[in-house]
A and B are shown apart, each in its own frame.
Chain A
Amino acid sequence: MTPKNRWPWQKYALMALPVGFLAVFYAYPLIGIFQYSFNRAENGVFNTIIAALSSGYTWKVIGFSFYQAALSTLLTLALGLPGAFVLARFQFRGKSLLQALTAIPFVMPTLVVAAAFNALSGPRGWLNLGLMELFSLDQPPLQLENSLAAILLAHIFYNTTIVLRSVGEFWGHLDPRLEQAGRTLGASPSQTFWRITLPLLAPAIAAAALLVFMFNFTSFGVILILGGPGFANLEVEIYNQTNGLFNLPLAAVLALIQLICTLGFSLAYSFLSAGLNRPLAQKPISYTQSRPASWKSKLLVGCLVALMLGFFTLPLVSLAARSVVQLENERGRRGLVEPTFTLRFYEEILASTNRAAAYGSPYRAVLYSGGYALATTALALLLGLPTAWVLAGSPNSTPARLLDTLLLLPLGTSAVTLGLGFILTLNKPPLDLRASPILIPLAHTLVALPFVVRSLTPALRSIRPRMRQAAAILGAAPLQVFRLIDLPLISRAVIAAAAFAFTISLGEFGASALISRPEYPTIPVLIYRFLGQPGALNYGLAMALSTLLMVVCGGAMLAIERLRVGTEREF
């Protein structure tokens, strides 16, 4: 591409923006906290690392991190791949709704997902209440809480969308004539699948699996809340060692191990997704997809869609149902009450009374969350646009690869470690941000940036260089080219990326819980506070806020889906 050799310094200047951001708000606090932790090691850094690595317990934790992540990833693929097939090869009514629905969990705070599963299958969830009523049992028959099964279910719930999106997208553009040629030459459907489709899909599947694995590997809330005290992966153990045991040196060693693993995963991921860019005979979806015609395909599509609908809607619907039904008694009163329909939890949110000043007003939390999300969106776009532009222009250059890998690192960094790093290092003017609300959009941007860049880069890449060249020949300056050619062409992708950043910020919990100012809580932080308080009103408020969050996230995901369809038509 043209920009490659003509003005590399501009490119480096653009890269300085995201790199500088990461250096100040990621690397600096992280190095600070590592240094501090290791300085406190009584026997020196080296012995601390050796001691940690020779402890069977450390290896148990590492082993469990890999074990649960691998198992979760396999199960996610088991649901996601058939789903991706249906989405890739068939057109049917409500498809974008289904796609939006499956994406909602991805941006929901763990706490809410835990609450959703609890509302469905917890001791007093709908399933158990129903079964107890049906068979007149006095104990709930389903015991999912604090089990490996609960962890796995939640991970599938969270991450299936990654497989559906990335594999489904790739599959949808795969030229069906390759398979048809195989069939014409006498291969059976299964032979065609194993010998032609699967090898072609392999890089896409591997990339998706790796990303899912990485998210599961560093999972925090799911393992802490749904898994309960019996389970700990690296991320949870870092939290335990830091807050419960004050063993900062060991926490730092574990954080380093996790960081190294994440670095490995993201390097592999960048490598694999670069492989996806190799020119394959891609076709627009209007060419590859059809309505299910035969009864066989109708049955297949019907079953798979029903399965996904059930799996993704049941917990979300149970959650919404709990926000309008009162099941529990008021604080201090015991036993269950007859389920009654009520809107008082929503009225309570709107009332904006300063109910229990200690826990904050829900109405104001909605406003604060919106503010943080807007700031995150602005910052993430500001940093993401130049980053994506550089990445799109030179996909295979080493600095671009490095930048790509670097962007993913914050996703694999313990929020506890980074949060303490903020307190330790951002303590001097002009960067005395320790207790400032600005920290929240900054932290959210670290999380949202890789997603923003990933939604923008393909769109920028799809712009034919000749259009840029033509503009340049006609006398447009580089910035003008970007403004007049690139930006209008990617405006849909920009809006989709903005929606992504917005929802990620709305739903983020881990970092917010650590650094949010108590008087400016975000919605998830407030949900957490309400869930920790007894009584029907607090629980109902938590459910109502969760439902609101879910609706907003769902709306944003639907918008992204619509906008994505738009860009695909131009394919």
Chain B
Amino acid sequence: MKHLRLLLLLIMLAAISACSPSTTAAPDPIATPSGPRKLTIMTHASFAISDPVKAAFEQQYNAQVEILRAGDAGEELNKAILAKGQPLADVYYGLDNTLLSRALAEDIFETYNAPALAQVPVEFKLDPTNRALPVDYGDVCLNYDVDFFKSKNLPPPASLEDLLLPEYKDLLVVQNPATSSPGLAFLLTTIAHFGADNYLTYWQGLVDNGVKVVNSWEVAYYTEYTRAGGARPIVVSYSSSPAFELLYANPPLSEPPTAAVTAPGTCFRQIEFVGILKGTTNIDLAQKWVDFMLSTAFQADMPLQMFVFPVLPGVTLEEAFTKFLVNPTQTASLDPQQITSNRQVWLQAWTETVLR
């Protein structure tokens, strides 16, 4: 009996001590004179930064940077909106152009006219109020397995319409746009290309031609794609994927084993933004962080960390990129405002047509 009580007490003590080390939730507003100031960055799950680059920032500003991964891009934005005014972090990174106008309408960011913006090409600056500042971009394009098409003596698809042809039956795998951002990008590509009135007809055609839908890019690329041992030689991925295949090839290859379709209008450009959350008490340090994200050091670090490309011109890239990265000449274009106001309707209609 006594033992049981002792046990309970011990369990409780253990519990309390297990929980206590990190109960500070909101960003710490007061910097102690001696210790570093804490800066919290809210990001999506795929954020990555190499340690030396982060340490350089921390050292320069006597700061301790904490990365708060808040789920996928949609989850992250939901959380930021719900915590409006009493933000969970100081800086928000990972907003993309499909979510941009929703975040702007919710007014969760402070304006910041970062000096580095002057160098960023105008095509990336989608928010004229400078609340959401562009950091990186990536193009979502169809990828195909070069060997598969060679061995079957079949030309690879060159347009969206090609995917409806009988010779490409059962060859395509795409992601669910409701759960995956490249999936959404591809859906938006088809909407930009065929128009909001006709894209469902196109998708019905894809369904009839045996398109496979999976929930995430990982499943599509690492399970279903023929390069990974799956049965589908055409996959929705990034224009940079062939270069990455080469970078990670072992033994080394001289040419990428996959290729991206970059014909006009077949790719969608994803741009990711950073913003300072309204209500932060560390606005000066937050601004420094935004400057840092737009500095050469961070911009050059991104491609190998997050597989995205710098918006800052003149950043030196790996040779594999300069040699094998094919930039689409003309990406599908949809107005962010139009995306926000129709996103729900498009996704719902797509789900009802393709999935159920």
Name A's B-contacting residues (CB within 8 A): 36, 57, 60, 123-124, 139, 146, 224-225, 228-230, 232, 240, 242-247, 330-336, 357-358, 368, 370-372, 374-379, 381-382, 420, 423-424, 427-428, 432-438, 441, 483-484, 487-488, 491, 494, 498, 513-514, 517-520, 529, 532-534
Contacts and interface: CB of A to CB of B under 8 A. Distances in A.
Contacts of A517: 22, 68
B248 A423 contact: no
B356 interface: yes
A404 to B, nearest CB: 24
Interface residues of B, number: 66
Given A123-B223, A483-B1, A371 B14 contact: yes
Given A230-B213, A427-B86, A420 B78 contact: yes
Interface string B56-79: 000000000011110110110111
B26 interface: yes
A539 B247 CA distance: 21
B65 to A, nearest CB: 12
27 contacts: A139-B231, A146-B214, A228-B214, A232-B356, A243-B74, A245-B347, A247-B344, A331-B248, A332-B245, A332-B250, A372-B18, A374-B18, A378-B11, A423-B83, A424-B83, A432-B26, A433-B25, A434-B88, A435-B26, A437-B19, A438-B23, A483-B1, A488-B1, A491-B1, A518-B67, A529-B45, A534-B222
Contacts of B216: 532
Nearest to B213: A229
B116 interface: no
Contacts of A518: 67-69
Top 3 A-B pairs ranked by shortest CB distance?
A: A332-B248, A371-B18, A375-B15
B218 interface: yes
A246 B348 CA distance: 11
Contacts, number: 163
B228 A334 contact: yes
Given A36-B82, A372-B18, A487-B1, A436 B23 contact: yes
Nearest to A439: B25
A245 B1 contact: no
A239 to B, nearest CB: 9
A123 B245 CA distance: 23
Interface of B: 1, 4, 8, 11-12, 14-16, 18-19, 22-26, 45, 47-48, 51, 66-69, 71-72, 74-75, 77-79, 82-83, 86, 88, 102, 176-179, 213-216, 218, 221-223, 227-231, 245, 247-250, 257, 343-344, 347-348, 351-352, 355-356
Contacts of B8: 378, 381
Given A228-B214, A332-B249, A377-B11, A123 B72 contact: no
A494 B4 CA distance: 9
B72 A520 contact: no
Given A374-B11, A434-B25, A245 B343 contact: yes
Contact of A423 (B69, B88, B218): B88
Q: Which of A376, A433, A435, A484 has the most CB of B within 10 A?
A: A435
A246 B11 contact: no
A491 B213 contact: no
Given A420-B82, A534-B218, A514 B71 contact: yes
Contacts of B179: 229, 240, 243-244
Given A371-B18, A378-B12, A534-B222, A435 B88 contact: yes
Contacts of B352: 57
B336 to A, nearest CB: 14
Contacts of B355: 229-230
Contact of A246 (B15, B74, B228): B74
B15 A229 contact: no
Q: Which of A224, A375, A520 has the most CB of B within 10 A?
A: A375
B78 A242 contact: yes
B25 A436 contact: yes
A44 B223 CA distance: 44
A330 B250 contact: yes
Contact of A240 (B12, B18, B178): B178
A422 to B, nearest CB: 9
Contact of A378 (B15, B22, B48, B82): B15
